[in-house]
Amino acid sequence: MVRRGFFPGSFDPITNGHLDVIRAGLTVCDELIVGVGQNPNKTPTLPVEVRCALIERIARELPQGTERPATVRAVGFSGLLVKTAREMGANILLRGLRDGADFDYEMQMTGMNAAMEPELETIFVPARPANRHITATLVRQIAQMGGDISPFVPQAVAQALATTKSPS
Ligand code: ADP
């Protein structure tokens, strides 16, 4: 059976913390689909196509295992997460855990998702200590105020945000 993972989030922008989860996902999945959430009520800093392109480009540069190289695709989605995961043919749902707040929320979500889609197995990836403080929200705020985000994001993201005028 192909182990196809689905890693959903907003990725506005993808950070080094998200990348840790993708890296870990590649050790357990044959294929990984990163689901880039679209919220019609929010104006993103980066359009969904740009977020997807960045994710795929950055993932391509990750070192691959020699035995069975996994592929990473990024797709925009809106609506119910488990429905999208099913449509994508995913059997693994990947989520990162940074702290107790993530844990409490994710455990609730996992229970609800398992009730709706029992075949979808959730796998939690603990955040790496070096990157667990990173959130996309703070990265956006720092970038908007002209701060240096390069310690928190891949280089391609820092470049993309430097050339993007964010909505105020
Ligand atoms: P953010 O909260 O940074 O805006 P998302 O809401 O898009 O990110 O989160 C998508 C997934 O990425 C979630 O499972 C979240 O726990 C995980 N994640 C976000 N930041 C990190 C991090 N620094 N380390 C590990 N996982 C993370």
- Of 25, 1, 12, 8, the C-alpha closest to 113 is 8
- What is the model's pLDDT at position 65? 60
Q: How many Cβ atoms from other residues are within 10 Å of residue 1's Cβ? A: 5
- What is the model's pLDDT at position 54? 97
Tokens of 97: 């855990």
The C-alpha torsion from 82 through 102 and 111 to 40, rounded to 10°, is -30
Nearest CA to ligand 1 atom 19: 18
* pLDDT tens by residue, 26-70: 999 999 999 999 988 888 889 999 999 999 999 988 876 655 557
- Give ligand 1 pocket residues (Cβ under 6 A): 9-11, 15, 17-18, 20-21, 95-96, 98, 102, 127, 131-132, 134-137
pLDDT band of residue 164 (cuts 50, 70, 90) is confident
Nearest CA to ligand 1 atom 6: 9
Atom of ligand 1 nearest to the CA of 97: 16
Centroid of ligand 1 to alpha carbon of 152 (angstroms) = 12
Nearest CA to ligand 1 atom 26: 96
The C-alpha torsion from 71 through 68 and 30 to 62, rounded to 10°, is -40
pLDDT band of residue 168 (cuts 50, 70, 90) is very low
pLDDT for 89 beyond 50: yes
pLDDT for 88 beyond 80: yes
Range 133-147 average pLDDT: 95
- What is the model's pLDDT at position 30? 92
Centroid of ligand 1 to alpha carbon of 20 (angstroms) = 10
Average pLDDT in the chain = 92
Atom of ligand 1 nearest to the CA of 135: 3
- What is the model's pLDDT at position 96? 98
pLDDT for 111 beyond 60: yes
pLDDT for 107 beyond 50: yes
